[in-house]
Amino acid sequence: MKFEFSTFITVASCSILMLTNLSLSGQTKFSFDDETLKKFDYQTLTPVKYKQITDGSEKRNAYMISIDEQIPISSDELKGSFTVVSDKMGFHDQDVSGHFLKYELSEEVIKYYDIPESNVLLVENENTKKLYIMESSFLKNINKEKEEKQKDEADRETLNQFMQSLGYKPYQIGENLYVKTKYYRIWCNTPTLEVLQKDKNYLKKMDSWYEQRQSIRKQLILLSPKLKHYIQLYNVQRNRMSKSDILAWSSLTKSAIALNDKEVDYLVNKLFGFSDINGIEEKQNKAISEISEYIAASRGVLGL
């Protein structure tokens, strides 16, 4: 027999549900809020009926699972708050005479097979009083998501207060916090906090480094046509190129290499690869790419 419910495990060729014992019975409350619906819209709950059954010659009340029904958590039926009734029950896909019936949700299943922990929760909708079973890992994931969200909010507030103490006005885009400097939009995250805790003036220095880097980039761009001239001259003259031209080319290339190394150092080690908010660097990138190619070609010919 094939079951749609995903958490059966085989014990003596039978399927039994089991998970972590959360010690939640009668205590834990939860609801499927909008965030839960977005993240776990694939999850379902299975209805449970508490009703009178006939077990052999005996009549008694029992929790019986409607195994063929699956209620998606986006259903209106699952709106409202829920309480965990029990986290110590399991069920079996066959009758065991004198113990439990097929699809009866019972603590006896756990005891009978000596299973240390159950992996399903019996939950009740507080508004409708309807009963369901759900995977305990699902509730664990819901709680984890809420804890992470609370932590993110706390971290964001810590960053917000810290940035304000430095004179910045943080603003939020989506889940992220940012501040603007003269040239940059800075994402306020843990690495940003760590940097500023060591040096509160770091963002102001970044603006200064941007200006210094811009000065270097402009010098490089001015060198580009000169390097291009010598490369073209070499392509025409080869070994007939004059010594004075080679010396001038070599000196120019060394200057370009030094400037390029400085430019890269500013970008990687001081500015962390950030792009300016005005898009000036992006407009320069083609010219900078060309000078990099000219430097590489010149080094190759000159052996620098």
Q: Over range 26-51, report the average pLDDT.
A: 88
pLDDT of residue 25: 45
Mean pLDDT of the chain: 88
Q: Over range 151-165, report the average pLDDT.
A: 94
d(CA 134, CA 120): 6
Model confidence at 107: pLDDT above 90: yes
Q: What is the pLDDT of residues 182-238, one digit of tens each?
A: 999 999 998 999 999 999 999 999 999 999 999 999 999 999 999 999 999 999 999
d(CA 267, CA 259): 12
Q: What is the pLDDT of residues 231-290, one digit of tens each?
A: 999 999 998 999 999 999 999 999 999 999 999 999 999 998 889 999 999 999 999 999
pLDDT of residue 10: 27
The confidence band for 38, taking pLDDT boundaries of 50, 70 and 90, is confident
pTM across the whole model: 0.63
Model confidence at 19: pLDDT above 90: no
Q: How far is CA 290 from the centre of its chain?
A: 37
d(CA 36, CA 145): 8
96 and 114 in contact (C-beta within 8 Å)? no
d(CA 304, CA 189): 42
pLDDT of residue 28: 87
The confidence band for 27, taking pLDDT boundaries of 50, 70 and 90, is low
The confidence band for 34, taking pLDDT boundaries of 50, 70 and 90, is confident
Q: Are strands 120-125 and 81-86 parallel, antiparallel or unpaired?
A: antiparallel
The confidence band for 24, taking pLDDT boundaries of 50, 70 and 90, is very low
| % pLDDT > 70, the chain | 91
Model confidence at 23: pLDDT above 50: no
CB neighbour class for 112 (10 Å; exposed up to 12, middle 13-18, buried from 19): middle
Q: What is the pLDDT of residues 115-141, one digit of tens each?
A: 999 999 999 999 999 999 999 999 999
Model confidence at 7: pLDDT above 70: no
